[in-house]
Structures are given as C-alpha cells and as structure tokens.
Amino acid sequence: MAILDWILHPTELWAGFWYVMRHAPPDEKTNKLQVSGEMKRCYDFLEMTSRSFAAVIQELNPKLRDAICLFYLVLRGLDTIEDDMTIPGAKKRHLLETFHEIIYQKGWTFSESGPDEKDAILLVEFEVVIAEFMLLSTEYQEVIADITKRMGAGMAKYTRERVETLDDYNEYCHYVAGLVGHGLSRLFAVSGLEDKSVGERLELANSMGLFLQKTNITRDINEDVLDGRCFWPKAIWSKYAKDEDELISKNNRDNGLCALNDMCVNVLAHIPDVIDYLSQIKEPSVFRFCAIPQVMAVATIVVCFDNTNVLDDNVKIRKGEALKLISQATTLDSVKRVFYKYMVALDKKNHPDNHVYEEVRKISDKTKKNIARTLKGGAPVDFTAEYLVIALFLVTAFFFFYSYSQSKQL
C-alpha cells in the first residue's frame, strides 16, 4: 500500500528523496549544533519528546534556537504534569500554578509521574532544563516565565471544569496553545529578528495556536473518548449524542459525522488569521518554523472533514504528503498555494446535502479569493493529474522494458 501511495503521488516521492538528502539523523544534527553538554542534553530531550518540533527548532536562527528549545521543554514539562492522571488533583493544581516559580529553583526534579507517562524522564532530569533556562537573557526568561504562569493557571482551572460552551473551548485552547503563540511571537520580537509589532498583534498569534490545537482535538476524538476524556465542547456534541461514548458509536454514525463537521468548521474559521500572521514574518528560518505546522494542520483538517474514519481511529496525512508540505513551507507565496490547494480539495468533499455546506463554502470561497488576489500570477493551477499520467507512463514503460529484457534472455 505504501509503495502504491508513492507511485500515485510522484511529487511526494521526490520531496521525500530531497528531505532524506538534506536532513541529517537526529544524533548527527545535535552534534552539529556545537552546544554545551547540558544544552546538548536539552536537545536530546527535544528529540525524545517531539521529533517533528525538534527538526524545525534546530533549523532556527542561532539567536532564537536555544531560547525556543527551552521554552518548548518548559511547557512540555508543564503539559506532562497536566496529562498525568495519577497525580492527585490538589497536588497537580499546585504544581501547575507554581511551575513558573519552579523553573527558577536550581536542582528541582520530579520523579512521581505515572508509569505510562512517556515524557517522565524530562521531569526526572528537569534540573538540566532549569540550569540552561537561567543562562538565557533576562528578556527571554521573562517571556517564558510569564507564559508558563498564565498557562499553568489555565490548566489548573480546567482540572476542575469541563469544556461546556464554545467560549470554554476557545478559552481552553487559548491556555494550552494560544499562549504558546503569544510567547513565540514575543520571543521573535525580543530577538530582533522580527519587528516588535509581531509581539504585539497577539490576536493573530492566538489564532495560530488555536488552529493547531483545534485540529488536533478534532482529529483525536476517538483516542480521547477511549481514554475517558473529551475536549470537544458539549455545546457541539450534545446536539448529536447523549454522551461522549455515543458520539463515536457506530450506531450513531450519521450524528457523529455531523458533530465532526461542526468541529471542522470551527477550525477552518481561523484560516484568515493564520495567513495574516504568516504575512508579517520576514526572517526565513522563523517563517519555516511557523509555517510548517500550519500547512500540516490545514492538510489534516481537510482529511478529517466528513470522514467517518476519524470517529474510529487516529487519522493522519500520508508521510509523503507531510514531507512535500515541509518542502513547500518556505515562502509566503508557496504557503498560500498550499492553502488554496486544500480549499479546492475541501470543496470536492463538501456536498450540498451536508448541513454545514454553506458555512464551508463561504470559508473556502473567501480564502481562495483572498489568496488569488494577493498571489503572484493569480490562482494556482493544479497539475496533479498530469503528474499522475506521467508516473503511470513511466511505471508502465519500466515494466514493459523489464519484461522485454527478460524474454530476450530466455
């Protein structure tokens, strides 16, 4: 099946080839950073906790690279505590609410994580992160500590409360992802690599985070419900199911699909802000760092739309598709072409009998119109069919000549 995917998507095969040629293995890449022993350990943690983020962080401008690595690890430590269902509620809330102070406590570690916490090793050796964090400039430290404080308070709040209304949903996603966008934008500005206005237009930064978080929440519904939790707002799912288990039940499939499509519309509404945010980023490595997760997200939410498989499993985009998206997330024009392409794909899935048909059509039409208006050369042209014809011709020719050569030998 994987081989067939590559054959049917030849541009993805090419993108995969170039990705392998241009990217070193994790250990080799970390060695090339020429960092100190403890900072090297931090990059090791980065590889352990998120290979995808590790790749883009390690390619950042040196002015930002260490600060964003440590920012990520601090928040990953915070997130590991929030996710751990074995920590008693009162103790968990105390840790979350004081984590912004803990990152200034030399030698602090935590070894009480549950046995299933895959990132527990980060907290066991957290003194390494603290030591490197305290070597950062005061400006970087202040941004990271402020975001950690606000995020920890928000996480603590939602250990007591559930996501009921759409306002709750937006607030929860702001705490766990929008604030990440705030922090990154402020770090970009502090570094001098981006204009200070990037660190001030925080409503756009918030949408960047919400677009990613809501995409993940929408996609992960099956896994989350099976784990005994649900981050879909009750205001949406309660229209279609009496409880979260019924939401993913095969006996309630049509209603579950309606709920899924409502969730997808909620995600798609953030696209204009995402493009506006990326339009203000000038430094190439910062642009790639911001753009890669966003193009992955738009591809993922389009795959999820009107897709009953989401209710049964964790749906992902093809590996080759992901590699191609990484190769395309280099310039604003290229990213706009990606968004345009996926709006066209969304249109093909959006049937008139779908209850969100008009909402989706309006979002897609507006996005395509704005992109075509600002894109050099106008609306993009899709050559997928032509590439497929060429690929099939080459495969057929290969097998023909191979069979011919074999018959001659006989």
Catalytic positions are 172, 219, 229, 289
Residue 15, H or E segment: helix 10-22
Chain center to CA of 104: 29
∠ CA 25-72-283 to the nearest 5 degrees?
Answer: 75
Q: Measure the CA dihedral 254/260/261/264, to 10°.
A: -170
Which segments of 269-318 does DSSP mark as H helices, in order?
271-279, 284-304
Question: Could you give the CA distance from residue 364 to residue 342 in angstroms, rounded to a whole number?
Answer: 9
* Nearest C-alpha neighbor of 233 from the set 193, 191, 266, 203: 266
Nearby residues of 303 by Cβ (< 8 Å), 6 or more positions away? 315, 316, 317
Q: Enumerate helices (H) and strands (E) in the chain, giving the number of each.
A: 23, 0
